[in-house]
């Protein structure tokens, strides 16, 4: 490693606890302390991947001390450990460019600590807080902080614990998107969003001029929500990728989206409507829209009521290659069947390189 450092290269050190085959136990707080001592004078390890270990607030404190020193660490991935509110507080006060805490149960307290940090932090560019047991209050605090934060480019707050049916968070998110022009990627999966929430959200998206990737997976959006989304897509000239998989827009919702895709100037490049109870009529309308739109290059449709003639229509124009969708035909005894291809939307459109350069999502160098 040190010979490589002399050549001026930076690395992400990857020590995930879910490596297969499993030969060693997962890292704990004492292991993190030893690791931090090794890294305190390192200039080449700029990223640290510690996912799926057993690190608690004590380990987070060791990492925070490392970050306060002369460490060159800029990207920290602690997804699915045992960090709670206290750990979130100490890690938030750092010069990190990327902080991934998804899967840690930081709860309301941790969410409020991070929201407070975002009020003043001007370095953090990527923040992942999915499945962190955030509640309505902490989610709204995080969204409100984004109204003034101009550094963040990518945010994931999917799967919070929201028990209110008023969808106040959607109102706050809409207001934030109206004024925030720096956010590029926003993940709002598993938020319990209904058509009413979608209507509120699209009000802000109509005036937004920065967001390129919108993740709305696994919500409760139906045809009316798809109509609001389609109306917004006719006016928004920035949004390029929409993930609407695992909702329930059906044929009518697919028709609304098809009209928006065919609209002159629609900027959409990638769309997922997997598992949306769409039948032949809706899928055919999407196929016609793909032919009309020269910018849309990827569409994912598996999990609907898909038939071979519909798929043939989708690719017949040559506009869509088979590697740009998630369905492929195969033949048995002269009969054509369809199979799922494990291709999907990119999980991220934005990634922060550990040397501080904005780059497309990519795989980091590994030690």
The pLDDT value recorded for residue 23 is: 64
The mean pLDDT of 146-158, rounded to a whole number, is 95
Mean pLDDT of the chain, nearest integer: 89
The pLDDT value recorded for residue 184 is: 96
Q: Which of 184, 187, 234 is nearest to 206 (CA)?
A: 234
The pLDDT value recorded for residue 243 is: 97
CB 366 within 8 A of CB 12: yes
What confidence tier does 366 reach under pLDDT thresholds 50, 70, 90? very low
CB 193 within 8 A of CB 219: yes
Q: Does 8 have pLDDT greater than 50? A: yes
The pLDDT value recorded for residue 235 is: 93
Query: For 164-347, CATH number?
Result: 3.80.10.10
**First and final CA of the chain: distance in angstroms?**
8
For residues 337-365, b (16+ Cβ closer than 10 Å) or e, as one string? eeeeeeebbeebbbbbbbeeeeeeeeebe
Rounded to the nearest angstrom, the gap between the alpha carbon of residue 174 and the centroid of all alpha carbons in its chain is 18
What confidence tier does 86 reach under pLDDT thresholds 50, 70, 90? very high
What is the C-alpha to C-alpha distance for residues 33 and 30, in angstroms, rounded to an integer? 5
In 103-238, where does DSSP find H-type helix?
A: 107-118, 136-145, 168-179, 195-205, 223-233
What is the C-alpha to C-alpha distance for residues 274 and 303, in angstroms, rounded to an integer? 5
What confidence tier does 80 reach under pLDDT thresholds 50, 70, 90? very high
The mean pLDDT of 274-298, rounded to a whole number, is 91
What confidence tier does 358 reach under pLDDT thresholds 50, 70, 90? very low
Three-state secondary structure call for residue 215:
strand
The per-residue pLDDT for range 195-207, each reduced to its tens digit, is 999 999 999 999 9
In 47-164, where does DSSP find H-type helix?
A: 57-68, 85-92, 107-118, 136-145
What is the C-alpha to C-alpha distance for residues 74 and 86, in angstroms, rounded to an integer? 21
Claim: this prediction has a pTM higher than 0.85:
yes
- Across-strand partners of 49? 14, 77
Q: Which of 91-95, 344-348, 358-362 has the lowest mean pLDDT?
A: 358-362
Q: Which of 14-23, 65-74, 131-140 has the lowest mean pLDDT?
A: 14-23
Q: Does 296 have pLDDT greater than 80? A: yes
The per-residue pLDDT for range 241-255, each reduced to its tens digit, is 999 999 999 999 999
Q: Does 302 have pLDDT greater than 80? A: yes
What confidence tier does 5 reach under pLDDT thresholds 50, 70, 90? low
% pLDDT > 90, the chain: 66
Q: For the chain, what is the total number of helices (H) and then of strands (E)? A: 12, 15
Q: Who wins on pLDDT, 357 or 140? A: 140
What is the C-alpha to C-alpha distance for residues 249 and 220, in angstroms, rounded to an integer? 9
């Amino acid at each position: 490693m040190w010979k490589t450092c002399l050549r001026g290269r930076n690395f992400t050190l990857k020590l995930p606890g879910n490596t297969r085959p499993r030969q060693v136990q997962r890292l704990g707080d004492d292991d993190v302390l030893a690791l931090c001592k090794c890294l305190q004078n390192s200039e080449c390890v700029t990223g640290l991947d510690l996912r799926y270990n057993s690190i608690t607030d004590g380990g987070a404190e060791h990492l925070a001390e490392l970050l306060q020193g002369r460490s060159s660490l800029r990207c920290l991935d602690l997804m699915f450990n045992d960090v709670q509110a206290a750990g979130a507080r100490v890690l938030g006060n750092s010069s990190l460019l990327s902080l991934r805490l998804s899967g840690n149960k930081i709860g309301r307290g941790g969410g409020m600590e991070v929201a407070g940090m975002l009020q003043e932090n001007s370095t953090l560019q990527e923040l992942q807080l999915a499945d962190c047991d955030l509640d309505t209050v902490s989610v709204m605090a995080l969204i409100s902080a984004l109204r003034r934060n101009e550094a963040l480019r990518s945010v994931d707050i999917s799967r919070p614990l929201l028990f209110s049916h008023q969808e106040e968070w959607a109102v706050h998110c809409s207001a934030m998107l109206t004024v925030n022009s720096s956010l590029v990627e926003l993940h709002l999966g598993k938020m319990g969003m209904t058509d009413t929430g979608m209507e509120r959200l699209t009000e802000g998206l109509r005036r937004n001029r920065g967001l390129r990737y919108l993740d709305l997976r696994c919500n409760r959006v139906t045809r009316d929500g798809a109509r609001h989304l389609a109306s917004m897509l006719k006016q928004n000239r920035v949004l390029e990728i929409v993930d609407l998989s695992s909702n329930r827009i059906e044929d009518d919702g697919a028709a609304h989206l098809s009209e928006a895709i065919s609209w002159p100037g629609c900027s959409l490049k990638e769309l997922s409507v997997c598992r949306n109870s769409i039948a032949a009529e809706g899928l055919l309308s999407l196929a016609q829209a793909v032919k009309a739109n020269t910018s849309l290059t990827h569409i994912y449709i598996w999990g609907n009521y898909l038939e071979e003639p519909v798929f043939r229509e989708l690719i017949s124009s040559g506009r869509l290659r088979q590697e740009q969708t998630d369905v492929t035909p195969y033949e048995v005894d002269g009969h054509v069947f369809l199979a799922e291809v494990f291709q999907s939307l990119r999980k991220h459109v934005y990634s922060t390189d550990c040397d501080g350069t904005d780059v497309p999502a990519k795989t980091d160098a590994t030690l």
